[in-house]
Each structure stands twice: as C-alpha cells, then as structure tokens.
Amino acid sequence: MNVTIVDYNSGNISSVINSFKEVAKDKVKIEVTSDLNKIKSSDKLVLPGQGSFKSCVDALKNIKGLVDVLNDFATNHKKPLLGICVGLQMFADIGYEESETKGLGWIPGKVSKIDNQNGKYKLPHIGWNQLNTLKDSKIFKNIENDSHMYFVHSYEFIPKDKSVIIATTDYSSKIVCAVEKDNIFGTQFHPEKSDKLGLKIIENFINL
C-alpha cells in the first residue's frame, strides 16, 4: 500500500513527512510528491496545509490539473484522504482569510476567523487543547475523550451539516477540530505535532 503526502509548496511539511514515516516503518510506502500520476495511483492521500486559506488554495491551483485529480480521488474514487490544518479547511465551499476564496467544496461550509471576543482570546490559537469527542471515528480509534492535541490557527471550519463533526475543542466557542465524511477525514489540530496520540491518529489513518 502507498500513502502519498501531497506536496504543493504550502510551507514546511517536514514534520508531517517524518511522523508518517515513523508510523509506517517499512510496512507502508510513504511518498511525497506533486506528480499527478503518482497522486492518482495512491491508495491514500494526505493534504497538509500551512499559512492562509487563500495561499493554500492558490498553491493547489498553481499546479495544473492538481485540483481535478484531488476531486477525482476524493469524490469519484472515494479513496481515503486526510486533511491537516488548512488541508481540512480547504474542504469547505468558501474561506474568508485574506480575501473571499472558493474552497474545494467537499464538505459544505465556510472558514471564518475565530471570534476572539474582543481580545479575550489570543489569536492565533496556539498550543495544547482538549478534544470533546462527539462520535466514534475510525481515525480516533483508541483515542480517549479529553485527549490533548496541538493547535496553531486563527480561522475555524464551520460545516453546514453538523453530523460530519467528530470532535470539537473549547476556545472562545466550540471549534470544530475533526471531521469525517465517508472517505474524507480532517483535523484542525496537527497530529504530527501532538506526540504519541497524534501518531496514533496517523496510524489509524494508515490502517484504514
């Protein structure tokens, strides 16, 4: 089996690569590429994302044909895909960071700035926060409710259909921090920076 981390120049993804390789050992092939044919033929995809919603969407579009290949992979072939941080946010229809930007539209909803309640909450939201697990998920196997994960973000994904939400975290409000819709999974937190529990989520995704 091969798991491909999509490299579309969205910032430093070395920690994502290292953590997937650590979990995979020699059992699973981890590839990092922007080659469309390799992405197409993968068994699973990881879509990381650092920086702003707009910069990540623009970076995807800068690689000719990549958005079409991702759409085909996720929505037609329905193979497992994991979005991390802005990788998850891009599942939305639209984002409002920098300027109004169209997302991939896989999970209807929007990405808006976290309400910091007039400065009561610092943005970006950086650090460890507890998960409130709302329902069972294959990627949360053996992850207990109230586990802590590592976050770095100022914007939040607000899906229209609340049934896709598998966990929230309390920061200013109940922020969506993980979603699952059929074969599409996403975490707002960084599993690759969340110690052993984060590696467990990566392992769960690899083992799907």
Residue 64 CB neighbour total at 10 angstroms: 8
Residues 137-164 as b/e (b if ≥16 CB within 10 A, e otherwise) read bebbeebeeebbbbbebebbbebeeeeb
CATH code, domain with 114: 3.40.50.880
Structure tokens at 120: 């009561």
Annotated catalytic, 190? yes
pLDDT for the residue numbered 126:
95
User: How many domains are there within the chain?
Assistant: 1
Divide the 208 residues of the chain into consecutive groups of 10 and give the mean pLDDT of each group: 94 93 93 97 97 96 98 97 98 96 98 92 95 96 96 97 97 96 98 97 97
Annotated catalytic, 85? yes
The single residue of 56, 125, 190, 203 carrying the catalytic annotation is 190
Q: Interior CA angle at 152 toward 208 and 179, to 5°? A: 35
- DSSP E strands: which ranges in 13-164? 29-33, 44-47, 81-84, 94-95, 101-102, 109-113, 125-130, 132-133, 148-153, 155-159
pLDDT digits (tens, 9 = 90+) for 158-207: 999 999 999 999 999 999 999 999 999 999 999 999 999 999 999 999 99
pLDDT for the residue numbered 12:
85
pLDDT for the residue numbered 11:
79
- The pTM of this model reads 0.97
The single residue of 56, 85, 97, 203 carrying the catalytic annotation is 85
The single residue of 97, 156, 180, 192 carrying the catalytic annotation is 192
pLDDT for the residue numbered 174:
95
How does DSSP classify residue 34?
A: -
Residue numbers of the domain that contains 131: 2-206
pLDDT for the residue numbered 119:
87
Structure tokens at 152: 């770095």
171 closest CA partner among 118, 114, 133: 114
Considering only the C-alpha atoms of the chain, give the largest distance between any 2 of them, rounded to a whole number of Å.
50
